[in-house]
Amino acid sequence: MQIPETEKSRQGRRLAVSDIHGCIHAFEKMLEKVEFSPEDTLYVIGDMIDRGPNARAVVDLVRQTPNMIPLMGNHEWMMLQYLDKGPYKRSWNHNGNREMRRWLDDSGSRHGHLSEEVQEVVDWVRQLPYFIELDDYLLIHAGWNLPNTIDDLERYLAKKATLQDVLEDQPKMDLVWAREEFFNYHCDELIELLTGRKKTVIFGHTPTVLLGDFGRTPKIWHDPSGDKINIDCGAFYGGRLACLDLDSMEEYYTEE
Ligand SMILES: [Mn+2]
C-alpha cells in the first residue's frame, strides 16, 4: 500500500507503535502520554493480538479510531492460517493465542461459520496491508529476505520495478516473520535505487533487547547505518511499549 503524502498537507504528527500484543493499558497510557489527537496519524505496525491481557480491546480500539492505520503482523497472519486451515494452521497455538482462539471457537470457527460480529473483525484483519510506503519511510512488521532481493537487484532494475513491486514479490510469510535475514543487512542502497530517495524502514517483531545492549530498559533500536529502526521494545515481555514520532524522532515509552 502506498500513501502519497506530497500532495496532501500534513497537519498532525505521524506516530508509530508495534507489537502491542494485547497490552491495552500500556496502549491507552501511550495515547494519553503523546496526547494523541484526531489530526495525528498512528501507524500500528502489526501484532496487536496474543500474549497480553486484552487483545480484543486493542483490536476494538484500533478499529474504532479512523486515524489509526494498522498493518499485518505474524500473529494476525497466524490467526488467518488457523481459520483458513493453512499449512501453518497450528503455529498459532504455540504463540499465546488463548484469548483470540477461544473467541473464534466460541463463535463457531471450528464448524466453519462465525457470528456476524466476529466475521467483521476477521474480514478487517484479512485486509490489513503487509507494508506501507510513505515518502520517507517504509513501515513493515518484520522485513523481508534482504539477501535474496539484493541478489536480484539487477533483474529488478532492468524491469524498472518499484519498491512496492519488489515487496509484493516476496513471500507474505517473510514480511511478517523475517529476522536475521533482514536486520543484519543494509537495505538503504536497494531502497534508494528503487525509489530514487532515502527511506528508513520502521519495523518491530524482534524485541530490541535482542539487538542492542539496553540492560533492563529496552529502547528503540537504530541500525548503526541509519537504514532501519526497530520499535518493538517488548511490551509484553516485561519491557515497554514504544512510540516513535516519525517527524521529530521523539521517543515515548509506557509499561503495561
Ligand atoms: Mn511479530
Give residue 213's domain range: 14-73+128-254
- Residue 174 in domain: yes
Average pLDDT, the chain: 94
Q: What is the pLDDT of residues 122-132, one digit of tens each?
A: 999 999 999 99
Q: What is the pLDDT of residues 62-107, one digit of tens each?
A: 999 999 999 999 999 999 999 999 999 999 999 999 999 999 999 9
In this model, does residue 199 exceed pLDDT 70? yes
Please tell me the distance between residue 79's alpha carbon and the centre of ligand 1 in angstroms. Answer: 12
Q: What is the pLDDT of residues 209-236, one digit of tens each?
A: 999 888 889 999 999 999 999 999 999 9
Please tell me the distance between residue 179's alpha carbon and the centre of ligand 1 in angstroms. Answer: 10
Neighbours of 198 (CB within 10 A): 12
55-64, 109-118, 214-223: least confident range: 109-118
SS3 256: coil
Please tell me the distance between residue 30's alpha carbon and the centre of ligand 1 in angstroms. Answer: 20
Over residues 35-57, mean pLDDT: 97
Q: Give the C-alpha separation, 157 to 124, whole Å.
A: 34
- Residue 245 in domain: yes
Please tell me the distance between residue 251's alpha carbon and the centre of ligand 1 in angstroms. Answer: 21
Over residues 116-143, mean pLDDT: 97
In this model, does residue 6 exceed pLDDT 60? no
In this model, does residue 11 exceed pLDDT 50? yes
Residue 110's pLDDT is what? 73
List 137's β-bridge partners, or say none: 200
Please tell me the distance between residue 202's alpha carbon and the centre of ligand 1 in angstroms. Answer: 13
**Nearest 5°: CA angle at 100, between 53 and 71?**
90
CATH number for the domain spanning 207: value is: 3.60.21.10
Residue 218's pLDDT is what? 95
pTM of the prediction? 0.94
- Residue 119 in domain: no
- Residue 121 in domain: no
Please tell me the distance between residue 19's alpha carbon and the centre of ligand 1 in angstroms. Answer: 7
- Residue 83 in domain: no
In this model, does residue 9 exceed pLDDT 90? no
Amino acid making up residue 188: D
- Residue 3 in domain: no
Q: Identify the DSSP state of 11.
A: -
- CB contact set of 61 (below 8 Å; sequence gap of 6+): 24, 27, 28, 68
Over residues 239-244, mean pLDDT: 97
- Residue 118 in domain: no
Please tell me the distance between residue 65's alpha carbon and the centre of ligand 1 in angstroms. Answer: 22
Residue 194's pLDDT is what? 96
Residue 8's pLDDT is what? 52
Residue 234's pLDDT is what? 95
In this model, does residue 4 exceed pLDDT 60? no
Please tell me the distance between residue 141's alpha carbon and the centre of ligand 1 in angstroms. Answer: 7
- Residue 202 in domain: yes
Count of domains for the chain: 1
Residue 7's pLDDT is what? 44
